[in-house]
């Protein structure tokens, strides 16, 4: 059975074809004979009860510098597709949250993956706090004194934005680093949300593993 798969993602021109999981999913769907289209989150509209995207047909290939062919932008009623993949990167900001609200309105037999309600309810850096045994010692706060106390206990720490992605804004503060106060000041001036501070794990240098759970 051939499915019509719409992918909500960031600009395909900029994807890393050897590392991007969305690109890998698109390749596999295409290899199985499914029809692909893609659009940006900013291409979404809500029109009198319908969720419509300015979408482009899409063909993908693992060829550096020539990894996709896209058609012209056309209106696509997402309720007429079989699958919508919500795959854009954070930041988990109001634009991101708005997209989840719009996708909730897709009716009929369209499967939206992941469920936009659950995406909204489970921002990754907060969701993992439900599993303290699987994460390093963690502090989420805006209080400089709490951050200083945390550093005094754990020495080597990581400071990062709560809703960032892709390693952006992640700082490794070593025991002899004198920049913590300036860094905290920069974070509080740049972000409205608390920051996340964690004990540094040296094993991270060996890389990490990502698990994609299907039908879980």
Q: What is the pLDDT of residues 185-201, one digit of tens each?
A: 888 888 888 999 999 99
pTM score, whole prediction: 0.84
Length of the chain equals 216
* Apex 197 CA angle, 212 and 185, nearest 5: 130
Class of domain 125-206 as given by CATH: alpha beta
What pLDDT is attached to residue 216?
A: 64
Q: Per-residue confidence at 124, pLDDT binned at 50, 70, 90?
A: confident
Domain coordinates of the chain in residue numbers? Answer: 4-122, 125-206
In whole angstroms, what is the distance from residue 167 CA to residue 161 CA?
A: 10
Q: What are phi and psi of 98, to 5 degrees?
A: -60, -40
Instruction: Provide, rounded to the nearest whole percent, the portion of the chain with pLDDT above 90.
Output: 75
Ramachandran angles phi, psi of 212, nearest 5°: -100, 115
What is the three-class DSSP state of 205?
helix
C-alpha 106/C-alpha 34 separation (Å) is 20
**Domain range 4-122, CATH architecture:** 3-Layer(aba) Sandwich (3.40)
């Amino acid at each position: 059975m051939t499915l019509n798969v719409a992918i909500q993602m960031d600009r395909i021109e900029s994807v890393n074809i050897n590392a991007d999981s969305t690109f890998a999913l698109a390749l596999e769907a295409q290899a199985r004979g499914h029809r692909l289209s893609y659009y940006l989150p900013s291409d979404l509209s809500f029109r009198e009860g319908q969720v419509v995207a300015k979408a482009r047909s899409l063909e993908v290939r693992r060829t550096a510098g020539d990894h996709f062919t896209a058609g012209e932008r056309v209106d696509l009623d997402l309720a007429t597709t079989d699958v919508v993949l919500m795959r854009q990167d954070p930041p988990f900001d109001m634009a991101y949250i708005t997209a989840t609200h719009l996708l909730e309105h897709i009716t009929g037999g369209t499967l939206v993956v992941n469920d936009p309600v659950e995406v909204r309810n489970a921002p990754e850096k907060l969701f993992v706090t439900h599993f303290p045994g699987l994460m390093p010692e963690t502090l989420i706060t805006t209080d400089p004194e709490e951050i200083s106390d945390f550093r005094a206990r754990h020495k080597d720490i990581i400071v990062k934005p709560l809703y960032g992605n892709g390693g952006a804004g992640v700082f490794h503060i070593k025991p002899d680093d004198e920049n913590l106060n300036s860094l905290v000041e920069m974070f509080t001036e740049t972000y409205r949300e608390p920051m996340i501070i964690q004990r540094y794990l040296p094993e991270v240098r060996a890389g990490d593993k990502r698990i994609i759970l299907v039908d879980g």
